[in-house]
Amino acid sequence: MLKVKQIRKDINRNYLSSQSFTGSSVRTKGYESDEGANTFDDFAMSYDFVSGVTYYLRFAAKRKVVESASYNPEDSVKFNLILYTANGGSTGDHAQEKTQTIARDLILDPYVPNGYNKEWKSFTIVFTPNESYKFLSFKVNRIGYDYLRYPDYRVPFIYDNAPSAGEATLDFTENGDFAIINNILPSNTVADKIGVQSDPGALFCINREPIYLGRSGIYEINNGTKISFVGVAAPNGDDNKNIQDFIFDYAYDE
């Protein structure tokens, strides 16, 4: 028998569980040469990522105030977010370990013509590790400059004890969150149909995948897909006043 229930925003409910991490680094190898392989250190979040748990990561980044005169500031900085089980040691070799790329080709914009780009750029990532990992690396896509000027390669990300000192270029506090997304469905419930109503652009997590509501503010699944996980996310979402009002209807076999 199909049963229909409804969930609305509850200010006493914990939609996101805030987490803390330590600033660290991960070393990776570049091209091989007669003198050996170049290695690069990139900023990384050190944290015990758990397989099958869904995380909400929001951060802001900006360009460094001062960059080498040899590096063209009109170039973009591209980077990937990659999960690692180890920090690469002295060699930067990760050939024997599993990794997981959770975001590709994120971009920090070039400098503006009349100076450097001071603006913070925000990024929001929802991801579920497929294994247990220890590091989330902000791995820079290396270009010719990094090899020609080695070891004076680019280190654009500065946070706490990141690989380089200077003004912070990453923000996980005022403009960021790191949290576990909690399932709002009752334990062991698998829905056959769902419908969500909220503000356009609101972020939900359906079967551990991010879903942004469109202009209508309505999202439905009624094509036979089984729904076992539904999460609600918002900036600073561990403070429930930031969670948007929503109505969530779901139908399931009792």
Average pLDDT, the chain: 88
Write the single-letter amino acid at 29.
K
Write the single-letter amino acid at 225.
T
At which residue do the structure tokens 């028998």 appear?
A: 1
3-state secondary structure of 136: strand
Section 206-212 average pLDDT: 96
Q: CA separation (Å) from 77 to 67, 112, 141, 157, 206?
A: 12, 14, 8, 10, 31
C-alpha 169/C-alpha 158 separation (Å) is 5
- Burial group, residue 41, by CB count within 10 angstroms (0-12, 13-18, 19+): buried
Q: Name which of 243, 224, 126, 225 is nearest 184 in CA terms.
A: 243
Write the single-letter amino acid at 30.
G
DSSP lists the bridge partners of residue 65 as: none
C-alpha 157/C-alpha 24 separation (Å) is 11
Share of the chain above pLDDT 70, in %: 87
C-alpha 102/C-alpha 105 separation (Å) is 11
| CB neighbourhood size of 193 (10 A) | 17
**pLDDT reported for residue 165:** 56
**pLDDT reported for residue 83:** 98
C-alpha 171/C-alpha 157 separation (Å) is 10
Q: Tell me the CATH number for domain 2-16+182-253.
A: 2.60.120
Q: What is the pLDDT of residues 22-76, one digit of tens each?
A: 999 999 998 776 566 789 999 999 999 999 999 999 999 987 765 555 566 567 7
Residue-range domain boundaries for the chain: 2-16+182-253, 22-171
